[in-house]
C-alpha cells in the first residue's frame, strides 16, 4: 500500500476515488435540497432531512464521507506541492489558455474556494443540526416529532441577501471544479479510450451544470420569492 501511494499514479488514484465518492454524495445532497423549493410548507424537506438523519445507512456513511473530504482536500495540497516542485524555475512568458481550460489548471484554487464555502456551510447548518439540536424548533409531521430544519435553512436565505449570493457562488464554484474533475477521475482510473473521451467530457459538463444550477437555484428561489 505504501509503495502504491508513493507512485504518482497511485497518488492520483486516491484523488480520483475520493473525488468520485464526493460526486455521488453531491448528487444525493442536491436531490434532498431541491425539496426546499417544491414545498413551501417545509414538510417535504423536513421529512427528507429527518430520514437522512435517522437512516442507518446514512449514519454509517457519515464518518466515511468526512474521511473522504479530508483525504481529498489534504492530499490535493500535498500533490500540488509535489507538482510545483517539479518545475523549480518558472517560465517568463506563458500562453497556457491555448492548450488547456482555466478550470483544469486551477483545480486547487477552485477546490480551496469550495473549501472556504464548505466550512461556512457546515457552521450554518450541519453543526447546528448535529450538535445544537436544542436550539431548533420542532414540528410534528405524520405524528412524529422532528427538528424543523426547513425553518433553519429558509430563515438564513430569507434573512440575508449576502448569504444567498454566497451560496449561489458556492454552487457555481463547485460546478467549475466538477467541469474538470468529473471526467478527469475516470481518466485517472484508466476508464477511458477514443470513444469514451468525448462521452466523459459531455457527461462531466452536464453534471457540472446540473450541480451549479441546482444548488444556485435554491437561494435564488428564496431571494426572489420572499
Partner 1 sequence: MADKILKKLNIKVWRQKNAASKGKFETYTIENISTGSSFLEMMDILNNELIEKGIDPIAFDHDCREGICGTCSLYINGRPHGPDTEVTTCQLHMRKFKDGETITVEPWRAAAFPVIKDLVVDRTAFEKILQAGGFISVNTGGVPDANAIPVAYEDAEEAMDAAACIGCGACVAACKNSSAMLFVSAKVSHLAKLPQGKVEAKKRALNMVAKMDELGFGGCTNTGACEVECPKSISITNIARLNREYLGARLSK
Does position 92 interact with partner 1 (CB under 8 A)? The reply is yes
CB-nearer residue toward partner 1: 54 or 83 = 83
Does position 94 interact with partner 1 (CB under 8 A)? The reply is yes
CB 27, min distance to partner 1, A: 22
CB 210, min distance to partner 1, A: 21
CB 189, min distance to partner 1, A: 7
Using the contact rule CB under 8 A, the part of the chain among 2-10, 34-42, 168-176, 208-216 near partner 1 is 2-10
Options 190, 202, 225, 226; binder of partner 1; rule CB under 8 A: 190
CB-nearer residue toward partner 1: 10 or 66 = 10
Does position 98 interact with partner 1 (CB under 8 A)? The reply is yes
Does position 41 interact with partner 1 (CB under 8 A)? The reply is no
Contact 205, 179 (CB under 8 A): yes
Residues 6 or more apart whose Cβ sits within 8 Å of residue 112 = none
Using the contact rule CB under 8 A, the part of the chain among 61-69, 89-97, 129-137, 170-178 near partner 1 is 89-97
CB-nearer residue toward partner 1: 88 or 143 = 88
Chain-centroid distance of CA 150 in Å reads 20
CB 175, min distance to partner 1, A: 18
Contact 174, 114 (CB under 8 A): yes
CB-nearer residue toward partner 1: 107 or 152 = 107
DSSP SS3 for 42? coil
Does position 82 interact with partner 1 (CB under 8 A)? The reply is yes
Report the C-alpha dihedral over residues 224, 172, 48, 28, rounded to 10 degrees. Answer: 160
For 103, the grid coordinates are 478550470
How many CB atoms are closer than 10 A to CB 207? 19
Residues 6 or more apart whose Cβ sits within 8 Å of residue 49 = 32, 129, 146, 147, 149, 150
CB-nearer residue toward partner 1: 45 or 183 = 183
DSSP string, 119-150: HHHIIIIIHHHHH-GGGS-EEEETTEEEE-HH
Instruction: Report the candidate in 176, 184, 215 with the shortest Cα–Cα distance to residue 20.
Output: 184
* Binding interface with partner 1 (CB under 8 A): 4, 6-13, 79, 82-96, 98-101, 104-105, 107, 180, 183-184, 187-194, 197
Amino acid at each position: 500500500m505504501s509503495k502504491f501511494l508513493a507512485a504518482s499514479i497511485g497518488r492520483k488514484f486516491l484523488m480520483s476515488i475520493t473525488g468520485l465518492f464526493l460526486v455521488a454524495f453531491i448528487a444525493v445532497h442536491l436531490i434532498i435540497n431541491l425539496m426546499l423549493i417544491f414545498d413551501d410548507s417545509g414538510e417535504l424537506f423536513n421529512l427528507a432531512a429527518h430520514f437522512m438523519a435517522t437512516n442507518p445507512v446514512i449514519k454509517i456513511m457519515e464518518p466515511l464521507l468526512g474521511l473522504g473530504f479530508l483525504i481529498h482536500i489534504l492530499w490535493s495540497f500535498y500533490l500540488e506541492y509535489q507538482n510545483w516542485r517539479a518545475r523549480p524555475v518558472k517560465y517568463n512568458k506563458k500562453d497556457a489558455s491555448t492548450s488547456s481550460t482555466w478550470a483544469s489548471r486551477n483545480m486547487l484554487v477552485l477546490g480551496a474556494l469550495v473549501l472556504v464555502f464548505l466550512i461556512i456551510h457546515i457552521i450554518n447548518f450541519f453543526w447546528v443540526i448535529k450538535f445544537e439540536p436544542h436550539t431548533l424548533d420542532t414540528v410534528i409531521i405524520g405524528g412524529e416529532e422532528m427538528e424543523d430544519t426547513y425553518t433553519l435553512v429558509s430563515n438564513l436565505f430569507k434573512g440575508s441577501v449576502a448569504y444567498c449570493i454566497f451560496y449561489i457562488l458556492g454552487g457555481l464554484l463547485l460546478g467549475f471544479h466538477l467541469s474538470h474533475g468529473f471526467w478527469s477521475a475516470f481518466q485517472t482510473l484508466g476508464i477511458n479510450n477514443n470513444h469514451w473521451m468525448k462521452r466523459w467530457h459531455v457527461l462531466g459538463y452536464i453534471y457540472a451544470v446540473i450541480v451549479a444550477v441546482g444548488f444556485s437555484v435554491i437561494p435564488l428561489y428564496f431571494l426572489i420569492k420572499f
